[in-house]
Structure 1
Amino acid sequence: MEKLPILQFEEKIVETVKKNAVTVLIGETGSGKSTQLSQILFRHGFADSGTICVTQPRRVAAVSVARRVAQEMGVRLGEEVGYAIRFEDRTSTKTRIKYLTDGVLLRESLSDPELSSYSVIILDEAHERSLNMDILMGLVKRLVGIRSSSNFRVLITSATLEGEKVSAFFDGCPVLNVPGKLFPVEVIYTDDVNKNFVEAALKKAIDIHVKEPEGDILIFMTGQEDIERLVQKLEDRVRSLEEGSVMDAVIYPLHGSLPPELQVRVFSPPPKNCRRFIVATNIAETSLTVDGVVYVIDSGYVKQRQYNPQTGMYSLDVVQISRVQANQRAGRAGRTRPGKCYRLYPSVVYNDDFMEAAVPEIQRTSLAGSVLYLKSLDLPGIDILKFDFLDPPSYASLGDALRQLYLIDGIDENGAITSVGRIMAELPLEPSLSRTLIAANENGTLSQALTIAAMLSAETSLLPSFAKGSEKKRKHTPLKLPDGGGLGDHIQLLQIFESWSETKYDIEWCKEYGLQIRGMSFVKDVRGQLCQLLQKMAKCSTDVHGSHKSREKKMGYRNLRKALCVGYANQLAERMMRHNGYRTLGLKSQLVQVHPSSVLQPDEDGMLPNYVVYHELITTSSPFMRNICTVDMQWISPILKKLEKLDINKLSGGFTDSEGGIEGKGQEGLKKEATVEDPAVRDSKINAARERFLARKGKK
């Protein structure tokens, strides 16, 4: 094994950790901190009184690093060294070093608030500033005080994080700096901004392949769609090169939605006289290290989900990376020998347009799940609006999360977590889906709701894509899928899975209908694990494996849609008086459309159902509701009544108006925003609009 830089600091690290409850370790790219730090502590007895826990921001990293450490220690993965990610746990009673995602560690703290099974907690890759990481930093800060009499130790490790800032957060803890093992990297900028960075990356990659000596090429793209496009184009272009004129090439995609067996291919060395092209998302910036990379092509962009708490809407935006990210990408080219980084943007863009560091996830995502988690801990004197975060989110974001939880019964009007909320917090699902399962359990439709929850938990699109150019790749047109019976996308997803189950989960059936095979298999596994979890929790009063399919069909899936209405109380929409438009109820008032992929279509008069719930609001080319389902008017009244009692300060855990509410709004402002029109008046207006619409069409 190569001598990694961190090993030269082994004695200094051990000495510092022994003397301090918290240590910040800044380990540059290539220092070996992710694989070696846990082994260093293990060698020096830190695992004698408990397990060494190492968090990772991504599942791919947790699995791959655990594999590497197990291999280096000469043990079987799952025994002395193991990993735990959502819906998969490869650990045992023998496990002394455990890699896990930060989300899994948060979930473990629900059943063991003091995380007593761990002697050391290493929060790795903290510079990525994931939502869970920021919450964990706040929690372990409290935990250090609670476990001060023990030998409990916390290490915060990062490639680029501002060490002094984190040190100040942890009351002046020591900061250790470990240099990386990097060779010089020549950075080459383009003269102009490339609007089509896929084509620009393709041209540059082929140019390198033809002109430059051996060495693998790592290309940073924004997401799965761009990666797949570029991989296809690269394959076509490499095949078109004259045989014998250049070395052979293999081309690998690398993103979080790939199955593990395809992800690990990139870690295997290529055949002799063969160059690897690795087309990756920002997952390859720091979480994973691919040896052999000599050339990096940096598009300068990343795909990022951003949440607007005022509208409750997500946007999936392609945004510029930060200077820190750009430097991390460049560093990937200098791991094994001097390399080159080709930036598909001018130096003036890097210097003038890029931010120094990326915006932390906690400041750009919905916090409902995180706030529910914090409420469930029953920490004494906790006020969500005043929780100790490294970089606090806005009051608007926290207030939005509290409102969501109140509407779906996760917390009561005084901000106390309810019995329903406690069950929701134990489930590894977003709050709306957890609440739906609880409601479905009460009305006898849990089996169907479990299927819907699993289908919506898939990380990739399950249904056939009819994107431009996709038809020519198909050998045949897929058969027609179930259409949801006019009730919406949730019902369609249920019908698809049930139809597949009737074939005993035949893969050929998925192929015939153009469904994503790996995604459907993932759904089947997730559903099974959710069933086991519910049975283990003893929270279900019906057979989770059973089916009420025939009864539900006869009832028009009424009880199931009622459960969805309860779970998605914060995501309720009413029809606007315009073709194919919707307006959300409550505090939001933006116009959005039904996503083009939805099976819920206007009737022959161009009218949509009066009320729907949606799984997600997202802005792409326009604001869209994605995955929607019809609900009945009488189910909505309880939601409207709850809005009348809404008081954000009380929901937070505080009981004063001294802060003026969210972003300075007084309670009067909040109540005014919460006022909604009487449903009868609304329906009258809708009917009037319908009459005018029909008149314009000449049907009246």
Structure 2
Amino acid sequence: MAALPILLFEDKIMETVEKNSVVVIIGETGSGKSTQLSQILHRRGYTRSGAIAITQPRRVAAVSVSRRVAYEVGVQLGEEVGYAIRFEDRTSDKTCIKYLTDGVLLRESLSNPELDQYSVIILDEAHERSLNTDILLGLMKRLVKLRSSNLKVLITSATLDGVKVSKFFSGCPVVNVPGTLFPVEMLYSSERPKSYFDASFRTALDIHSREPPGDILIFMTGQDDIDKMVSKLEEKIQNLDEGSCMDALVLPLHGTLPPELQVRVFSPAPPDCRRIIVSTNIAETSLTVDGVVYVIDTGYVKQRQYNPSTGMYSLDVVQISRVQADQRAGRAGRTRPGKCYRLYPSIVYHEELLDATVPEIQRSSLAGTVLYLKSLNLPDIDILTFDFLDAPSRESLADALMQLYVIDAIDAAGMITHVGRTMAELPLEPSLSRTLIEADELGCLSQALTVAAVLSAEIALRPIQRNAKDSKSKEQPLQLPDGSRWGDHIQLLQIYESWDRADYDSDWCINHNLQVRSMKFSKDVRKQLSQIMQKISKGPVDVQSSLRHRKGEHDYRSLRKALCKGYGNQLAERMIHHNGFRTLGYRSQLVQVHPSSALETNEDGRLSDYVVYHELISTSRPFMRNVCAVDMAWVMPIMKKLEKMDVYKLSGGLEAAITKPVEHEAHQQANKEINSSGTGDSVERKIQAARERYLARKGKK
């Protein structure tokens, strides 16, 4: 432990902290900042006047680091050292060192804006520039002015632009702590490989067969690639000639991995065996895996991006930044000199890669963020002028305001409503929060709680794949409920109801090819949401699941109506003469129902005229995911509200909003032309033409 560099700088760090309210600590990879800084502050007495909060951008990091610190301090996890993540709290009255996600700390600030339960707040891994961390940076700037005498704020990072953050906090000091213990040799490819997957596979085998002992860390882009790589490496290594090289243990590492499987990467390899860890970018900074000597950097990362003009998400494989490349390389060389195999030429690193990763706040939907800031009800916070380290686009803020207005979270003047305040109390995205509130009014809250919980657990529905040796392999696969033709939300509800009737049996999940852990998580989430709704509901709430409806008892009408209200900003209308739907409101995207959807045609072979969708995502083409059929009578009031929407009032003079009326009229005109012509093939051309005609008319006035 004494070898950790941050311990050598303990006196300097503490002297700086004692003299300043805000300190930026740049601790290079391997410096020990995430695990040791909280312990240093605890030893120096900072927990006598309040707890120490240490935020992490990822759930898995908050859990794993807290476990490590509890072990080092010599206490049971959940006592003096604990963690809090969404839907899970392992803390107690004894807890004085608390690791938590940045999102959880934001939620705590709703009930206690001054966060006076903490004497120190550490924003760790700030260089990842997560959406919530960026909001916290702005809130901390305000908070240190209010609590300058009894609050210390530390911003820690491996590669953050210390000068930029120091300037943001009025010139606060920056302390640099070295971290890489041994040199790392950079090995570049002569050219970009045609397949980074195949190149990673070949490089891993080459290292395993030729290089001295030491663990290998491979950076892949997502879980599918990781699972495929783990399977392929295991098969190949098992078929190597006995004695030709040492044994290898191949381990996956990603955010959705169960905790019992995540901890395997922190255990050393067995004797005469090397570990090959295949990971997402979670291993760049959030988790430190000791024993890694060789790093394989594909140069790519899977990044989720939101386009406010289309309301559409895309999950794209993009090039990493130089900051990320340096972080990946820094994973090697912690125990001895290491090597980093970059599967791209040197010129790509120096001339093509961005300096730093684009902040999440500039590539995300901001509806939840805007709702949170408005719910704080602080007179000195204006959403349009909020002090961000890097401000989001005006278009993104305008889009968020419009989304919130359509679902009644803010009024026509942009002020938060009673409904909006209630929504902010729920740890859900705005569409699901609004659905629960409406379901409470309509008497179907129990069902809506289930839908919200299952969606939050992100349960994946996959086709059954039986083992050929399985004695049941000749039987018909066990089919999941079909959603009664209404779509995916109803199907998810029916799946949970069926599991409830099976007394939450794990074998039922296995037989239906559902992940047991995810299903159990949805049950826990539902219970917690029920407890929250009990405090704000107008009637009794079903805490334990009692959803054992008889098949055909109802058509889920009330639930679908509640979903329509909650997803009012995410409506789509069936194109009569086109193979798909078009979104309604201030967007006119032509989309299709995702092939995996449970939405079915009616007795006449027709899809519903109107649907709501949980997510609009662009893959091979624009798709609606998690779709539910709704009635035209429920859609019309929402459409009328959209027609009356005054974006100027909503935004308070937002500059980008000046173009919105142009776009809105252009979309309306294009929609009329689509309906009259019976085709949507040239929708973008028609929108542009309508926009030009509108501008021409404006120019003549």
TM-score normalised by L of structure 1: 0.93
Q: 1:39-63: CA deviations, max 9, x gaps?
A: 1111111111100110000011111
- The residue number in structure 1 matching 2:7 is 7
In the alignment, the residues of structure 1 paired with residue 275 and residue 344 of structure 2 have an alpha-carbon distance, to the nearest angstrom, of 24
| Moved segments of 4+, more than 6 Å | 470-474, 681-686
In the TM superposition, what whole-angstrom CA distance separates every residue of 1:434-459 from its partner, at most 9, and x where no partner exists? 11111111111111111111111124
Q: What is the identity, as a one-letter code, of the residue corresponding to 1:329?
A: R
How much has 1:181 moved relative to structure 2? 3.5
Q: Deviations over 1:54-105 (max 9, x none)?
A: 0000011111111111111111111111110011111111111100000000
Distance in structure 2 (CA, Å) of the matches to 1:528 and 1:190: 52
1:349 positional shift: 1.7
Residue matched to 2:392: 393
8 Å CA contact 1:363–1:392 kept in 2: the answer is yes
1:96 aligns with 2:89: no
- Residues 551 and 434 of structure 1: is their aligned pair in 2 closer, same or farther, counting only changes over 3 Å? farther
| One-letter amino acid of the structure 1 residue matched with residue 665 of structure 2 | K
The question of whether the paired residues in 1 share the 8 Å contact of 2:78 and 2:91 is answered with yes
Instruction: Tell me what 2:641 maps to.
Output: 642
Distance 1:488 1:186 in 2: 54
In 1, the alpha carbon distance for the partners of 2:430 and 2:553 equals 29
CA–CA separation in structure 2 for the residues paired with 1:553 and 1:397: 43
Question: What is aligned with 2:106?
Answer: 106
Structure 2 residue runs of 5 or longer lacking an equivalent are 680-701
Residue 338 of structure 2 corresponds to: 339
CA distance in structure 2 between the aligned counterparts of 1:370 and 1:671, rounded to whole angstroms: 24
2:625 aligned residue: 626
Deviations 1:194-240 (A, max 9, x none): 23212211111111111111000000000101000000101110111
The residue aligned with 2:145 is 145
Structure 1's 424 and 673: CA in aligned 2 closer, same or farther, altered over 3 A?
A: farther
Corresponding position: 1:672 with 2:665: yes
SS of 2:227's partner is helix
For 1:240 and 1:602, the matched residues in 2 are separated by 50
Residue 317 of structure 1 aligns to a residue in which SS? strand
Per the alignment, do residues 636 and 541 of structure 1 end up closer, same or farther by CA in structure 2, a change over 3 Å counting? farther
Is 1:280 aligned with 2:252? no
**Alignment CA distance shift 1:526-1:192 (3 Å):** same
Aligned to 1:16: 16
Residues in 2 aligned to 1:193 and 1:473: alpha-carbon distance in whole angstroms: 40
Query: Distance in 2 between the 1:409 and 1:44 partners?
Result: 49
Q: Partner letter of residue 607 of structure 2?
A: L
Partner amino acid, structure 2, of 1:15: E
Counterpart of 2:532 in structure 1 is 533
- Distance apart, 1:244 and its partner CA: 2.0
Matches within 5 A, 1:469-488: 476=473, 478-488=477-487
Written as runs of structure 1 = structure 2, the 5 A alignment for 1:496-535 is 496-535=495-534
Judge conservation of contact 1:552–1:559 (CA < 8 Å) in 2: no
Q: Could you tell me how far 1:544 is from its partner in structure 2?
A: 4.5
Q: Which residue of 2 aligns with 1:252?
A: 251
Residue 269 of structure 2: aligned partner? 270
Distance 1:684 1:297 in 2: 53
**Whole-angstrom distance in 2 between the partners of 1:332 and 1:495:** 45
SS at match of 2:457: coil
Residue 48 of structure 1 aligns to a residue whose secondary structure is coil
Q: Could you tell me how far apart the structure 2 residues matched to 1:104 and 1:16 are?
A: 28
2-structure distance, mates of 1:566, 1:116: 37
Q: Which residue of 1 aligns with 2:201?
A: 202
SS for the counterpart of 2:332 is helix
After alignment, is 603-612 or 285-294 more displaced? 603-612
Q: Secondary structure at the match of 2:437?
A: helix
Matched residue SS, 2:242: coil
- 1:671 Cα deviation (Å)? 5.5
Specify whether residues 322 and 661 from structure 1 end up closer, same or farther in structure 2 by C-alpha distance, changes over 3 A only.
closer
| Structure-2 residue corresponding to 1:382 | 381
Alpha carbons of 1:230 and 1:548: their partners in 2 closer, same or farther (altered >3 Å)?
A: closer
* Partners of 2:608 and 2:497 in 1: CA distance: 25
| Conserved 8 A contact 1:193-1:344 | yes
Q: Quick check: 1:163 aligned with 2:159?
A: no
In terms of mean alpha carbon deviation, does 113-122 or 573-582 score higher? Answer: 573-582
Partner of 2:81: 81
| Displacement after TM superposition at 1:609 (Å) | 1.0
Q: 1:34 & 1:324 partners in 2: Cα distance?
A: 18
Distance in 1 (CA, whole Å) between partners of 2:2 and 2:501 is 53
User: 2:72 — aligned with what?
Assistant: 72
Q: Percent identity?
A: 68
Residues 252 and 578 of structure 1: CA distance in aligned 2, closer, same or farther (over 3 Å):
farther
Query: 1:562 matched to which residue of 2?
Result: 561
Q: 1:479 to 1:348 in 2, by over 3 A?
A: same
Equivalent residues of 1:648, 1:661 under 8 A apart: no
Q: Does 1:357 align with 2:356?
A: yes
SS at match of 2:330: helix
Which ranges in structure 1 are unaligned for 5 or more consecutive residues? 690-700
**Matched letter for residue 463 of structure 1:** L
1:320 CA displacement:
0.6
The equivalent of 1:463 in structure 2 is 461
- Report the TM-score when normalising by structure 2: 0.92
Is residue 644–residue 671 contact of structure 1 (8 Å, CA) maintained in 2?
no
Q: Is the 8 A contact 2:500 2:545 kept in 1?
A: no
C-alpha distance in structure 2 between counterparts of 1:434 and 1:648, whole Å: 23
Write the distance in 2 (CA, Å) between the matches of 1:625 and 1:500: 26
Match of 1:29 in 2: 29
The CA distance in 2 between the partners of 1:40 and 1:525, in whole Å, is 35
Letter matched to residue 506 of structure 2:
I
Q: In structure 1, how many angstroms separate the alpha carbons of the residues matched to 2:423 and 2:89?
A: 21
> 1:670, 1:549 → 2: CA distance?
48
1:121 matches 2:114: no
Aligned to 2:587: 588
Partner of 1:297 in structure 2? 296
Q: Distance in 1 between matches of 2:508 and 2:469?
A: 15
Indicate the SS of the match to 1:203.
Answer: helix
* C-alpha distance in structure 2 between counterparts of 1:540 and 1:127, whole Å: 45
Shift in CA distance, 50/673, structure 1 to aligned 2, threshold 3 Å: farther
Cα 1:151–1:552 shift into 2, 3 Å: farther
Report the AA paired with residue 373 of structure 1: Y
Deviations 1:645-684 (A, max 9, x none): 32334324x3xx4x5443x52x643663685899xx9999
Give yes or no for contact 1:446–1:544 (8 Å, CA) kept in 2: no
SS of the counterpart of 1:127?
A: helix
Deviation digits for residues 278-334 of structure 1 (CA, Å, limit 9, x no counterpart)? 000000001100000000111111001000000000000011101110111011011
The structural deviation recorded for 1:608 is 1.9
Letter in 2 for 1:212: E
Q: 1:676–1:527: structure 2 CA closer, same or farther, 3 Å change rule?
A: farther
SS at match of 1:351: helix
Q: Deviations along 1:389-438, whole A, 9 cap, x unmatched? A: 00000011111111111111111111111111111111111110111111
Given that residues 215 and 294 in structure 1 are in contact (C-alpha distance below 8 angstroms), is that contact kept between their aligned partners in structure 2?
A: yes
CA shift digits 1:129-186 (9 cap, x unpaired): 00000000001111111113x3211011110010010011111111111111321111
Say if 1:552 and 1:558, in contact at 8 Å, map to a contact too.
no
d(CA) in 1 for partners of 2:170, 2:15: 19
Does the 8 A contact of 1:324 with 1:357 survive in 2? Answer: yes
CA contact (8 A) 2:497 2:547 kept: no
Distance in 1, matches of 2:353 and 2:674, equals: 49
Which letter maps to 1:296? V
Task: Classify 1:641/1:313 alpha carbon distance in 2 versus 1 (closer, same or farther; 3 Å).
Answer: same
Tell me the secondary structure at the aligned position of residue 302 of structure 1. Answer: strand
**Matches of 2:515 and 2:450, distance apart in 1:** 16
Equivalent residue for 1:215?
214
CA distance in 1, matches of 2:410, 2:183: 55
d(CA) in 2 for partners of 1:645, 1:241: 70
Aligned to 2:697: none
